[in-house]
Chain A
Amino acid sequence: MIEVKNLNKSFGDAHILKGITTTFEKGKTNLIIGQSGSGKTVFLKCLLGLFDYEDGSISYEGKIFSQLSEDYKRNLRAEIGMVFQGSALFDSMTIAQNVMFPLRMFTKMNKSEMMDRADFVLKRVNLEDAHNKMPSEASGGMQKRVAIARAIVNNPKYLFCDEPNSGLDPKTAIVIDNLIQEITDEYQITTVINSHDMNSVMEIGEKIVFLKDGLKAWEGSKDTIFKTDNEVVTDFVYSSELMKKVRKMYLEENQ
């Protein structure tokens, strides 16, 4: 579990995150949603330790990240998998080498053991025949799946995804969403996803944190988001006519 208490982050005079307090639970897909510029990516990078923050705390299993020794932080980071918005695959390596990279860096596995593990996770993301391709030869959806395979290859306790569906067609986006949820459930990972894709919210949002101008404006789940009266949330989530109709139908069915 990841606990965030009163998190504040500024860049110069710009106060980006304003006292955010929340928890991200184990075995659940936790979504951070909000408009562009609401502070989602900064929040995610604070969680990952890529950004320092002025005030507040982030705890992993009760241990405050900023108070950990460098060695402990390094070990903790080895338990974190991250799927970046642009996949961030190493373009000088093949897909198999990308997936094996965390194993090469952090385990004492020999080459055949690493290959076996890479085969396993690539099969898990439905990419059995892509081992020797370079990332530049793979489609956007394939790259995202490789990024997920690389993120889970070392059996992480925590999985972070920054807009995993951006730039993907709706069908591939659903495949990626379902894959993340299955993996979260299967390996009991604490998953945190940064998204502004409403399909993702409705499909896999077991816990949703809504940010508005750096403040936590609302939190709930994919079920409670239909029922909320919070205007800030409804303005954002139900901004399209289609989503308004979906909500209306949901509320009529569940009355």
Chain B
Amino acid sequence: MSYLNSIGTYFLMIAEMFRKPTKWGVMKQLILKDIDDLIIGSLGIIAFISFFVGGVITIQTALNIDSPLIPKYLVGFATRQSVILEFAPTFTSIIMAGKVGSFITSSIGTMRVTEQIDALEVMGINSLNYLVFPKTIALMLYPFAIAIGMFLGILGGMAACVFGGYSTLADYVVGIQTDFEVFHVIYAFIKTFVFAIALATIPSFHGYYMKGGALEVGKASTTAFVWTSVVIILLNYILTDMMLG
């Protein structure tokens, strides 16, 4: 029953977020600040993880190809497919649920604990629009960060392949061009877009409706990470079944 209540409150929060919009001049600055905090601030970790996981995918694929009948360009092909279809959109989003999600929950939760949200409400400001809406808009740029992750994942795979001696550069390049389907990239971006909404709103929900003090802010951050990850994994399954199944 409490889960149903929470789900209902979550959707009411989404609806409330669009009511009584904040002045555009103020909102514009909030969106730019959130782009800086949530997107620009995450590029480093996305680049680092993408590059090295791309390398690991390449090494593992290359080491599992024993048969001389399997062409060497398959390493590049498998890396590209893994990175574009699954690793960049989903795996990175789960990491972002930890990084961005806990940042959102703790910042909004701290505002709740220190009565800053009450201060906004007393002034007649729609606190959900002021706090959650700019984060949601900022995270609409998340697919661009994932595009960088895709590029660096494939680049990392190439570096591992060539410098590790698992295949030649020419074979790898042929592999990443083989049977390329634009729809797979579109599918990945649609997934990323949906994950971005979950990344913005679920941690906001846990921060906004938390009760208690500093300890509860920490607990809310952990809960937000768990639920954001669960929702991302479920959405990943549903979207994959709908679009590729």
Contacts and interface: CB of A to CB of B under 8 A. Distances in A.
Interface of A: 48, 50, 70, 73-78, 80, 82, 84-86, 88-91, 102, 104-106, 160
Contact of A105 (B23, B114, B115, B116): B23
Given A74-B20, A88-B115, A104 B121 contact: no
Given A82-B119, A105-B22, 6 more contacts: A75-B124, A82-B122, A86-B114, A88-B119, A102-B123, A105-B123
15 contacts: A74-B20, A75-B124, A77-B123, A82-B122, A84-B115, A88-B114, A89-B116, A90-B119, A104-B23, A104-B25, A104-B26, A105-B26, A106-B123, A106-B124, A160-B122
B220 to A, nearest CB: 18
Nearest to A71: B20
Interface residues of B, number: 16
Nearest to B25: A104
B124 A78 contact: yes
- DSSP majority for the A interface? mixed
B20 A91 contact: no
Contact of B118 (A73, A88, A90): A88
A105 B26 CA distance: 7
A-B CB proximity, top 10 nearest: A77-B124, A88-B115, A88-B119, A74-B124, A82-B122, A84-B115, A88-B116, A78-B124, A48-B122, A86-B114
Interface in B114-163: 114-116, 118-119, 121-125
A158 B7 CA distance: 37
B128 to A, nearest CB: 14
Interface string B94-124: 0000000000000000100011101101111
A10 to B, nearest CB: 18
Given A74-B20, A105-B23, A105-B26, A50 B122 contact: yes
Given A74-B20, A104-B23, A104-B26, A85 B123 contact: no
Interface of B: 20, 22-23, 25-26, 110, 114-116, 118-119, 121-125
Given A104-B26, A105-B22, A73 B115 contact: no
Given A88-B116, A88-B118, A78 B26 contact: no
A68 B18 CA distance: 21
A77 B122 contact: yes
Contacts of B25: 104
Contacts of A50: 118, 121-122
Given A74-B20, A104-B26, A105-B23, A85 B122 contact: no
A161 to B, nearest CB: 12
Contacts of A91: 110, 114, 116
Contacts of B22: 105
B105 to A, nearest CB: 16
A6 B79 CA distance: 71
Contacts of B110: 91
Contacts of A106: 123-124
Nearest to A147: B119
Contacts of B124: 73-78, 80, 106
B116 A90 contact: yes
Contacts of A160: 122
